[in-house]
Homo-oligomer: A and B are copies of this chain.
Amino acid sequence: MKIEVVKNILDANDQIAYLNREAFDSLDVIAINIMASPGAGKTSLILKTAELLNLPIAVIEGDVASTIDSEKIASKGISVVQINTGGTCHLDAPMVKEALKRIKLEGIKFLFIENVGNLICPASFELGEHLKVAVSSVPEGDDKPYKYPGLFSKVSAVVLNKIDILPYIDFNMEYFQNGIKALNPKAQIFPLSCKTGEGLDKWIKWLESEAVNR
């Protein structure tokens, strides 16, 4: 009975995700669903990407509460819409559909959809995005792919943020990368630091190649 309810909710979500995808495609916008733990650096990654990527972007910002992140993004002159989910632990396709009414996508190449900080629930909900990206970070530890396989198995790329902190943390890079490869051999892995800028060039090149080839 409970399972049936969940299945119906997911089916309804997928139908709206399909409409969102059509909206993105009609405008030649690539939508990227960014998922991560709280504090892994989703907003920092979006801000750095906006700075370095020579293509126009827009942002949908998902949070349980507050407008802290959308204010940071708006202060850089980037078009942004905030979704506050109330208590809900993930974005869903209807929320994104509502947000799309409040954002201009004409002329935009990438729409970054920053999901709620959570490694579990966001993985179950399609938003209509073209790409899913996980952001992990060094201080969270090297075991995250093993503990949250649902999310890491579904993404096209994993950004490992905060590599500037590697000297001060016990973090086995090989163990982390092997965890991802075992689940998801095709996923790109980008170790980088949004603080120092190290490694961001490869991430930016990957986005540029997606903009051309997709």
Measuring CB to CB, which residues of chain A are less than 8 angstroms from any residue of chain B?
2, 5, 9, 37-39, 63-66, 68, 87-89, 116-121, 124, 137-141, 143-144, 146-150, 162, 164-165, 168-169
Most buried by B among A37, A116, A146: A37
Other-chain residue from B63, B117, B138, B147 in contact with A66 (beta carbon distance below 8 A): B147
The answer to whether B65 and A149 touch across the interface, beta carbons within 8 angstroms, is yes
Q: Show 15 residue pairs from A and B whose CB-CB distance is below 8 angstroms, ordered by the A residue.
A: A37-B117, A38-B140, A38-B148, A39-B139, A39-B140, A63-B147, A64-B120, A64-B150, A68-B146, A89-B121, A117-B147, A118-B118, A139-B140, A165-B168, A168-B168
When chains A and B are docked, how far (Å) is the Cα of A2 from the Cα of B92? Answer: 15
In the complex with contacts A89-B118, A119-B117, A65-B168 CB distance below 8 A: no
How many protomers of this protein does the assembly include?
Answer: 2
When chains A and B are docked, how far (Å) is the Cα of A89 from the Cα of B121? Answer: 7
Q: Give the distance to chain B from A180, nearest Cβ to Cβ, in Å.
A: 14
Q: Give the distance to chain B from A75, nearest Cβ to Cβ, in Å.
A: 15
When chains A and B are docked, how far (Å) is the Cα of A63 from the Cα of B5? Answer: 24
Chain B residues in 8 Å Cβ range of A38 = 37, 119, 140-141, 144, 147-148
Q: A179: nearest residue on chain B (CB-CB)? A: B66
Q: Give the distance to chain B from A148, nearest Cβ to Cβ, in Å.
A: 6
The answer to whether B87 and A120 touch across the interface, beta carbons within 8 angstroms, is yes
Chain B residues in 8 Å Cβ range of A5 = 2, 5
Chain B residues in 8 Å Cβ range of A124 = 87
When chains A and B are docked, how far (Å) is the Cα of A13 from the Cα of B149? Answer: 27
When chains A and B are docked, how far (Å) is the Cα of A23 from the Cα of B109? Answer: 58
Chain B residues in 8 Å Cβ range of A144 = 38-39
Per CB-CB distance, the 5 closest pairs between chain A and chain B, nearest first, are A39-B140, A139-B139, A89-B120, A39-B141, A37-B38
Q: Give the distance to chain B from A30, nearest Cβ to Cβ, in Å.
A: 27
Q: Give the distance to chain B from A185, nearest Cβ to Cβ, in Å.
A: 19
The answer to whether B146 and A66 touch across the interface, beta carbons within 8 angstroms, is yes
The answer to whether A68 and B165 touch across the interface, beta carbons within 8 angstroms, is no
